Amino acid sequence: MKNIILFGKPGAGKGTQAVFLRDHFNLIHISTGDVFRYNIKNQTPLGIMAKQYMDNGDLVPDEVTIQMLEREVDKKPDAAGFIFDGFPRTISQAEALDGFLSKKQMSIAATLALDVDEDILVSRLLSRGKDSGRADDQDEEKIRNRFAEYNAKTAPLIAYYTAQEKFHAIDGSRSIEAIADHLTRIVDQL
Ligand code: AMP
């Protein structure tokens, strides 16, 4: 079973590469951002709660995010493996994920980090926001706040997964195809 974390700042290309890896390796793709957006669209209590954080570019509290992720994994008992996209984003999420997976005799095989400069990401996100209408992609101040959240709360995961010898940094400024090739070579060896 190959369970992979796609890691990187907002706009780094996690979603694009997750879809490629999902199809190539027959894995289940879980994007916590997509699950939140689905709940917002359907105006569920979870969506209504999450929206106030997401609109400002803040992280949704750990407890609800962890419970939601566990529910998504439990929906797919026959999966050949999972791609976690946008999760974990804090040390407590990472610890909860390790504990949850180990209860199921599962573990993370690798954390694949897409590395891209913040200035490139800002222009990517602003252009994505024009097409998607995502509130958090349309305002540079909110985008910068998401980077601040990443730098304060998510960046410590680099040391967490490096200590487990699972962290792979990848230059995410190259073409989509070049990055997909690089990721495929890494995942093939897991
Ligand atoms: P994304 O689509 O991954 O960029 O996520 C969009 C927004 O959803 C983030 O800015 C957060 O507000 C929220 N979100 C997604 N995943 C998480 C997570 N693992 N922990 C907390 N908040 C999250």
Q: Where are the domains of the chain?
A: 4-117+166-188
Residue 9 CA to ligand 1 center (angstroms) comes to 11
Which residues are the active-site residues? 14, 89, 128, 134, 146
Which pLDDT belongs to residue 49? 97
Q: What is the CA radius of gyration of the chain?
A: 16
Sheet holding 167-171, edge to edge: 28-31, 82-85, 4-8, 110-115, 167-171
Residue of minimum CA distance from atom 15 in ligand 1: 33
Atom of ligand 1 nearest to the CA of 61: 21
* Ligand 1, pocket residues at CB < 6 Å: 10, 32-33, 36, 53-54, 57-60, 65, 86-87, 89, 93, 136, 146
Which pLDDT belongs to residue 94? 98
Which option is the CATH number for 4-117+166-188: 3.40.50.300, 3.90.1300.10, 3.90.550.10, 3.50.30.50?
3.40.50.300
Q: What is the pLDDT along the chain (190 residues), one digit of tens a residue?
A: 899 999 999 999 999 999 999 999 999 999 999 999 999 999 999 999 999 999 999 999 999 999 999 999 999 999 999 999 999 999 999 999 999 999 999 999 999 999 999 999 999 999 999 998 888 999 999 999 999 999 999 999 999 999 999 999 999 999 999 999 999 999 999 9
